[in-house]
Amino acid sequence: MPKTAEKYTERVQIMLTPAQYRRLRILAKRRKKSLSAVMRELLDTAAGRAATREERLEAVKRIASGNSPVGDWQEMERVAETRWEDSL
């Protein structure tokens, strides 16, 4: 979400599978954000809202930091392939 004084006035309740909830918690922990903030970001992405300049800069900083959830390229490739195969 943009770092503006935007007010959240609408409330939504959703039900998730245990696997979806686990993935959401992992994303939130990696991004150091609340579950709600991650859900809003995911909604904005799915709905096609363009990222702000600040959000793009933050993404570049995250990538450049080298903080990867895996140790090296081979491990990253293995994880990506496994997740892709699991989605079939």
Name the amino acid, one letter, at 40.
R
| Residue range 48-77: mean pLDDT, rounded | 78
pLDDT digit string (tens) for 11-38? 999 999 999 999 999 999 999 999 999 9
Domain match, 36 and 60 both: no
In a domain, 79, yes or no: yes
* Number of independent structural domains in the chain: 2
Same domain, yes or no: 16 and 41:
yes
Does pTM top 0.85 for this prediction? no
**Average pLDDT taken over every residue of the chain:** 83
Q: Distance (Å, rounded) from C-alpha 44 to C-alpha 19?
A: 22
- How far is the C-alpha of 26 from the C-alpha of 48, rounded, in Å? 23
What is the average pLDDT across 74-86? Answer: 78
Domain that holds residue 45: 11-49
Same structural domain, 44 and 56: no
Q: Please tell me whether residue 44 adopts helix, strand or coil conformation.
A: helix
